[in-house]
Structure 1
Amino acid sequence: MGFEKGNIFLKICFCSVVLGMILSASTVTLVYGFEPIAGSKIEVEGVVVNGTPGADRPVGISVALHTNKLDEGVSLVQTFTGSDGSFRFTDVEVINEALYGISVIYKGATYTVGIDLAFVSDPLEIVVYDPTSSDEVISISRASLLFTNADIAARRVSVMEMVTLRNGSDLTYTPGDGPMELLRFGLPVGSDQLVVDTGLEQADWVQVDRGFALLASVPPGDHEIMYSYRVPYSKDSLSFTKKWRYGAQDLRIVVPAGLFDVTTDLGMPIQVMDIGGINYDVQEAINIGRGQVTEVRLTGFPRPTFIQTFSHNLNSVRYEYIGPVGLA
């Protein structure tokens, strides 16, 4: 998806989400009720249905069969839906080492499903939806704000946010043409090293003035988004505001116990929780309003030693300035 590499924690969390998607997708089956033999050719058939009540039947829609062969890349075969939304691929070669998938682009949104030719029973069903560019259909059901580390010498706090984006309608959200018609997520002033990961199909993101915007269609249901960044702080504290553009039904703020203190204007009590053998200070809140602004304050940062400060400043000096000194 064109995303940058994230830190280990972020990649582990994201990989677990992607693994779950792959496992669920791999249970999709096809036709005929027998197990095909490698090298044989079979038919793959299914139907595209519109999940938006009262919407048009998806007739004449392009359907693509993707075959990803080891060392050969991806090959593509296309067909079109009939008057009843059905489609069929003939002479599909069964290759043990290949991965198969079917994709449909319908009114600007992409829908994909993985298939396993080793288990064949019922016709495949792909559900599509009519589009909307209104973000009123989007909300956040769960949000976690995790402060994972503090670089004392560089005076930077590492933050990871995980949100469950919910589309509770029977329409697929598709981005509009203007910057204000994109799904936007705010970041504290001065944030850097932004990394974004999501399981949404064909997703990408762009950095904007006060955060980033997601370039992706969001079909009905829940979808995970994770992003990490660093925030600079001065002396021994950091204060910033966070706007919940899409609200948050459940919010959790987490920091390793003893790393530093986190307070907000939400009045949340602090609980100590053991997560994987490590104690964390956890604050929980519910029903964060759409557009609500939260004040966040971090205090109690350890102060860097002289050696840490000196080493950081030395590493920050550009090469052309230290070169002549080394040659003297």
Structure 2
Amino acid sequence: MVEFAFFHSFLRRALSNDDYTRELATLENILNSGLLLVPETIILPGEPLEEGRKGNPIQFVQRRLALTLLTPSELPAHASRFGRFTIEFDLADGRQLGAIPVIYLPQPSPSGYGGYQTLDAFGATLIYRLREVFFLLADLATLECSIHGATNSDCINLSTGEGRDESIIGTAEVRKILDILGRDKQPFDDLAAACQVIFHLFYPTDKRRSDLDSMSLNVFYYQQREWRIFSDISVGQQRRERALTFQETTRLCENDDFFAELIETTDPHTNAPVYRQRAELCRLLEHVEGRHPRTFIKRIWVPFDAKHSVTELLRRTGCSMEVVSV
């Protein structure tokens, strides 16, 4: 019987190094602090509209830890591309950590006339619609917040912000509409947050990064059987994650230039674009159902010549788990 498990390999950017300094530092951080949920920016081109117009591009930041569903025999080929150190979780523990399979999104292909093939762009179209649903729910949440504490005799001004289209509506009427729309549903801000979280699960089927450009398979990522543990979810006291401290972000950037790269994001107060280091946007998953994430690790797979160093690291950190050469 074929035995599958979840594997997380690191560091892909250290494959050309002769030593294991950065891999050991990363493993030590996992054992001491928890699992690092790392941001990546996904950008979709503007949606084709009527009369040749084009909508605004969609950009969203995903914060997650990637797991790949593999058999042990498939790991060497995977590790040769994604990193020489690998931590393994069995299927039950990976799901208990919150792992969910990725939804692969085919990229729209330009047609010979410079537009998009209608059905080829269907996957991206779903993202555009989901984004509009998110904004609709966020607007309803904002409207509900704006009448909180107001009396039924008060009035509010509504406007799209375009020209002289302002309308004055009684709070009683607005509250009644919101009550009808929200009946038997979760609060609007929770629904909007759920839409936003779903963006973490989408990933391009055929996106190729610079270090994988030599690969001929344009569905390379679809073949990875990726699952994700992602950020920004709330399940009571069962899960705890936090932002990194200044010292942690500094150390992360010193260990790997990748985390010093600037990422465009949105200021939650002004909605204006801002640039922050990738390390500043990371989150640390440090508690799941009363357990430290390291207690979910089944085995650690490393090159033969790194096995002694990893064994010493486990002894020093007081951890006990199997170390396997790959």
More helix per residue: 2
Q: Which has the higher contact order (CA 8 A, sep 6+)?
A: 2
TM-score, normalising length: structure 1: 0.22
TM-score, normalising length: structure 2: 0.22
Q: Of the two, which has the highest radius of gyration?
A: 1
More strand per residue: 1
